[in-house]
Chains A and B, each alone.
Chain A
Amino acid sequence: MPPVSPYRQARPAAANFEDLIRPQVEYLYRLAWRFTGSVADAEDLVQDVLLKLYPRTRELLEIDRLRPWLAKVLYRQYVDSIRQQARSPIADLAADGDAEGNPLDTLPATRDGPEEHAERSAWRERIIAALEQLSPEQRAVVAMHDIEGYKLEELETILETPLGTLKSRLHRARQQLRALLPVEPFFVGERVKA
């Protein structure tokens, strides 16, 4: 474990917090989006996590591998939020009238131009729709193992779940995705990186 800098310990918590967390926000946001499938929910999840982390700034300074630790905090908050939503009387403010309903509409158009975005939207939507069918726990293990590249042994700690459970959860999730996603256009050779 690297030594904790006395300079950092003496600095205001806000400065240390920003130094530590700012580089991680995009990662947390990406992970939150993969858990929730929603830009708004990802923002809420990250915000809730940051609110909980700030009072723990001194603890953050002493963490060796911050990213897996943050992923663990994010996952716990995600699970808590799912439990709370089951009890919460607040409901989603879905629009009435002629509002747009495509979840992709809320994705910021950052990398794609309009044409590319339109071409990719249908493809994305099919995958997102399939991921939506998974349970929250299945989405989390798919996101962290198949997308973010964590090993199952690492996820034992991060997700606080036994290896056997993780393996069966991942297996069922993949089976479900394969069943939900039709063969075409997956057999287009250039999409496959074997």
Chain B
Amino acid sequence: MECRDFTLQLDDWLDGRLDTFRERSIRQHLNACADCRRRHQHALAVQAAVRELPAPIPHPSFVEQALARAIRGPGAGARSTRRRLVFGMAFAASVVLGLALGLFLAMRPAPVQTVSLTLERPETVRLVFNSAKPLQAATLSLALPENIELVGYDGRRELAWQTDLNEGRNLLQLPLIARGAVKDELVARVSHSGSSKTFRLRIGVNNAGPAGM
């Protein structure tokens, strides 16, 4: 056997797909060829590294929310909520979260932004969505972490509504109150035409002083 043959048959060997004759042949070559031994070791090591790459487990609230959303159906939520959220609120203090566009469903997730709120003080977090094109009837949904309330929606942890996104910057103002320490993240989701994209916001809570980034 030549080294080229070894390379061609290596994957079949790793997968146990060689017959007895070819396996004996490849083992004989391996015993005689240091380069192919190195190739074999490398192949095993890469395979093991990929296999052992730990996958994250779902966010604690994700399973519940995902099942609940599935049962409620797509687009669940009130259109009327949108207007109150987008147009009906203004607070003196605000924290701006700017989000710019890249490629949808990229391999790398949108980085997690962080904002700070002051305990028991309403403050507006502004999310800016930039869209390359106008989008009709996109669905926006929010999942609030424990100890964060949306002003006017006491006790509501999930909201969803449909809205049209304009080309360019679209502002969503969220007046939030922190009722205590926040462990989880605020999750915003934009869905359109069967695809969706999730964004996360970490919220720190200050007990005193002005809110800051």
Contacts and interface: CB of A to CB of B under 8 A. Distances in A.
Contacts of B129: 93
What's the interface size class on A, roughly? 35 or more
B70 A178 contact: no
Contact of B199 (A42, A47, A93, A128): A93
A167 to B, nearest CB: 8
A49 to B, nearest CB: 9
Contact of B104 (A91, A131, A147): A91
Contacts of A92: 101-106, 110, 197
A52 B63 CA distance: 16
A91 B47 contact: no
Contacts of A174: 11, 43, 46-47
Contacts of B103: 85, 91-92
Candidate in A94, A100, A132, A191 with the most chain B CB atoms within 10 angstroms: A94
B200 interface: yes
B105 A95 contact: no
Contacts of A63: none
B151 to A, nearest CB: 24
B195 A105 contact: no
Interface string B124-149: 00000111111100100000000000
A82 interface: yes
A51 B67 CA distance: 8
Contact of A95 (B46, B59, B110): B110
A54 B196 CA distance: 18
B192 A103 contact: no
Given A26-B63, A51-B70, A94-B99, A186 B57 contact: no
Interface of A: 14, 17-18, 21-22, 25-26, 29-30, 33-34, 36-44, 46-48, 50-51, 53-54, 80-82, 84-85, 88-97, 99-103, 105-108, 110-111, 120, 124, 127-128, 131-132, 142, 146-147, 152, 167, 170-171, 174, 177-178, 181, 183, 186-187, 191-194
Closest 7 CB pairs of A and B: A89-B133, A91-B101, A186-B45, A50-B70, A93-B99, A94-B102, A38-B109
Interface of B: 11, 15, 41-59, 62-63, 66-67, 69-71, 73-74, 98-113, 129-135, 138, 189-190, 192-200
